[in-house]
Structure 1
């Protein structure tokens, strides 16, 4: 026989729902119980704000019989601490009260000035326990859309490629003016008139002639010296 996993899942889900909806039991005032607080009623106000009460839950009022009691009253009787015509009254402690309706419930002690001294409780009863849904997680920040800087690449300067045979290709001639277009003549140089030939400026100084060379004079002196020396040597040898 095939195992039916769907039935098992349904049973587990039903058990989970039953456990979730099971009534809870709350002790009023926790460890302090039901009595006259020393802080003027702040004890029970803080207690009510720390719990979620649902239809079917049970409130347990721990008190000593003959010293306190529990009366469920209207809001006006709660505000004025009036014990006249309570909705419910129990004088035997401890008392367990089941929450039957989803509404605001008000409880007081009718002994003397106990209510005026802070022995009073106000709670809100809900139809079912609703767990607060977790706050949605904030979405991650969008990725940055700033484009990265594009590197500037300088193209290499192309040199004229040599033509076949080792000769460089001459640059292309300048484009000739279109037919019918007028070519403006070059602007004349300041101080000159159109059509006047350019005359180079006169030279302010004349170049002096080079000094005469002293080479012939030195050659004559050498010849005379040789002749004179020969004559002296000839006289000595005679």
Structure 2
């Protein structure tokens, strides 16, 4: 008995869950209904039909709802309808997946556009969210606080300027080429027109007066010489 109660509870929950998930689609709503003036093809393309949903046809008494096959839907053939419904409101339960086709049985209404194709899905299709392009942050200019400091190139001061010595002009003697093998001449040979002469006796100038010792030696030599001369004259 407990197992039966559990199964019944699960079935009830499934029914309630299915009923809450199911949707009712009023054909042509909100701007139209099941008639000739409503663009039923565009309306069907804007809806998603799932298993368990219901179609609600609301119409006037001069219309009806016929479920037909694909070939009869294309040719608007009403004689081989799967089901025929009237009375101003018809509810069709979408209990299985696949396409189902409905037309109006009044003459000329199907050809005027009063026809509906419904594609029932098992579950709702997963629509990926739109991918937005990455937002590029604007490149901000560096603030003055973090901007690199660039020191101006200053001209060298006169104190730190390099000293440039003036270039002296070469003398005329240094410009004249000197032969490598030329003999070296003395100052006397460079002037041949003035020959050197021996110094004369008159030009001799004693540098110093004779000393007393020299005088004594001269007197002694003179005395000895005089004695010798006198002796020679005596013996002769």
TM-score, normalisation: structure 1: 0.48
TM-score, normalisation: structure 2: 0.49
Structure number, greater radius of gyration: 2
